[in-house]
Chain A
Amino acid sequence: MDLSLLNQTLRDERQVKAEIEKIRRRLTRSWVLMEICGGQTHAIMQSGLDQLLPPEIELVHGPGCPVCVTPLELIDKALAIAARPAVIFCSFGDMLRVPGSNQDLFSLRAGGADVRVVYSPLDAVKIAQQNPERQVVFFAIGFETTAPPNAMSVLQAKALGLKNYSVLVSQVLVPPAMHAILSSPHNRVQGFLLAGHVCTVMGYQDYLPIADQYRVPMAVTGFEPLDLVRGIYSVVKMLEQNEVRVENAYARVVKPEGNLAAQAIIQKVFQPVDRNWRGIGRIPLSGWGLRPEFSEFDAELRFDVGNIQTSESPLCIAGQILQGLKKPFDCPAFADPCTPQNPLGAPMVSAEGACSAYYRFARSSASMKG
């Protein structure tokens, strides 16, 4: 297939500009919108949408960066497990540079630990099959999008009768995080762009009661510049008309009920649990954990790592950034000393972290402040 011959309507700048003009015409005042998903934060910064949008629209960046919210004690646990000689520790790549209390997985590997980057959790299952004398542990982190593959790896390990595969689970959910943001006395968010691929899996019915309870309109939104401006237009229109609904501005991919087969896989393996969010704290029923019938695959039970004393960088304000209360430029450590090469906090590491998006795509700090 020759991609260069495509009619690239979605990329058409003129269309994006026309949508922005539609937004401008609707505006009678300023509004604060949050995009939940860190992938969208990057798309916004990379395409320069933050600069193209009318100044009345302020986008604040949400907690949707999986490696950013994975709690520090779990990263320290991962480091303790990965340091064992009999262990092959498998992870998605962007977890490797995320700082634990004392080091990260990358430096642990440089010191000789067997830490491997995998594309899919099923690759970790294969590694377990090929290395029956070793213990293979997969760091099963992520939001609703990684839950089906993570769950499937456990089902597969069970079906294959593997005794040397386990998962270190840090599975978190978007709707409880929105409750936490919206119920904060400091909340400024008036409308939400919902994460397109999370909704692809889960649908968007769960958001209707949240929209009603807090009177905030929302739009399911995709990742391309035109998708993003369409999502923003949809939310702005509702705000200006004083309407509260959940609209689907990404209907070419997302169905209201989501992917039912994927949800069935998740439900077989996981059940709702309280989770700690790095920098944010404990949020009730904000994640998934293994059901008791799969506890033999729970790395936290399989490996006793003793007492873990965590210590977070005193400079890092990631928690406030992840809740939309502050922007990366508000952090005194931003760019000096905190950089992607020498990150003090997870949002500077991940391809979905707001700090790394600002660092990579900042055109001028003056134009981006405020």
Chain B
Amino acid sequence: MCLGIPGKIVELYQQAGLRMAKIDFGGVLREACVETLPEAKVGDYAIIHAGFALNLLDEQEALETLQLLRDAGVLDEELNPSSPT
């Protein structure tokens, strides 16, 4: 639950009074709240956890971590929270 996935901010907008972003996780798009990153710009990479940005990180780190999570099979699990079966 505390893992967090790095993704690229591709769009910033306001929604219901919150600063939100569209995040690209290596091809999968998700929405996240970026109230925690007042300095974030489009093109930045951020660690997203439970639909929230925890922090910024640089592109190289972000891409490496994404690949690692994908290899470990964690990426799908985190992005598509399904119920246990």
Residues of A whose CB lies within 8 Å of any CB of B are 1, 3-4, 6-11, 37-39, 46, 64, 66-67, 92-94, 96-97, 106, 109, 117-123, 142-143, 145-146, 148-149, 152, 156, 159-160, 195, 197-198, 200-201, 223-224, 252-255, 259, 261-262, 265, 350-352
> Which one of A117, A122, A223, A351 contacts B1 once the chains associate, using CB atoms below 8 Å?
A351
Check if A259 sits within 8 Å of B2, measured CB to CB: no
Looking at the assembled complex, report how far the CB atom of A97 sits from the nearest CB atom of chain B, in whole angstroms. Answer: 5
User: With A and B bound together, what is the CA distance between A259 and B35 in angstroms?
Assistant: 11
B43 contacts A by Cβ under 8 Å: no
From B35, B66, B68, B77, contact of A261 by CB (8 A):
B35
Q: Is the CB of A122 within 8 A of B2?
A: no
Say whether A66 contacts B54, CB under 8 Å. no
Q: Which residues of B contact A64 (CB under 8 A)?
A: 2
Residues on A with C-beta less than 8 A from B41 are none
| A152 & B1 in contact (Cβ 8 Å cutoff) | no
Give A201 to B58 CA distance when docked, in angstroms.
17
| C-alpha spacing A118/B55, complex, angstroms | 22
Residues of A within 8 A of B52 (CB): 120, 148-149, 152, 262
- Measured CB to CB, the closest approach of chain B to A95, in angstroms, equals 9
Contact call A117/B82, Cβ cutoff below 8 A: yes
Decide yes or no whether B47 CB sits under 8 A from chain A: yes
Contact A197 B50 (CB under 8 A): no
Nearest-CB distance from A178 to chain B (Å)? 16
Given A152-B18, A159-B17 in contact, is the A197-B37 Cβ separation under 8 Å? no
Interface centre among B1, B33, B65 (most CB of A within 10 A): B1
CB of A72, distance to nearest CB on chain B (Å): 19
- Looking at B2, B33, B35, B49, the one whose CB has the most chain A CB atoms below 10 A away is B2
Given A92-B50, A92-B81, A120-B52: A252 touches B2 (CB 8 Å cut-off): no
Whether the Cβ atoms of B36 and A224 lie closer than 8 Å is no
Contacts of B79 in A (CB 8 A): 119
Interface size on B, residues (CB 8 A): 44
- Which of A96, A117, A145, A152 contacts B54, CB < 8 Å? A145
Q: Which of A152, A159, A253, A352 touches B47 (beta carbons < 8 Å)? A: A253
A8 near B64 with CB under 8 A, answer: yes
Of A66, A97, A109, A201, most buried by chain B (CB within 10 Å of CB) is: A201
Do the beta carbons of B1 and A145 come within 8 Å of each other? yes
B36 touches A96 (CB 8 A): no
Q: Is B57 an interface residue (CB 8 A)?
A: yes
Top 9 nearest A-B pairs (CB, nearest first) are: A120-B51, A262-B36, A149-B52, A93-B81, A149-B50, A145-B2, A3-B67, A10-B64, A261-B36
A197 touches B33 (CB 8 A): no
Cβ-defined contact, A3 with B36, below 8 A: no
In the bound complex, how far is the Cα of B79 from the Cα of A140, in angstroms?
19
B 1-19 to A, binary, CB cutoff 8 A, 1 in contact else 0: 1111000100000001110
What are the residues of chain A within 8 A of B60 when measuring CB–CB?
A: 7
Complex Cα gap A196–B68 (Å) = 17
Given A119-B50, A152-B18, A156-B18, A259–B55 Cβ distance below 8 Å? yes
On chain A, the residues within 8 Å of B27 by CB distance are 1
By beta carbon, the residue of chain B nearest A92 is B1
> Contact check: which of B2, B17, B63 meets A6 at CB < 8 Å?
B63
Contact A152 B2 (CB under 8 A): no
Contact with A along B45-85 (1 / 0, CB 8 A): 00101111011011011011111101110000101011110
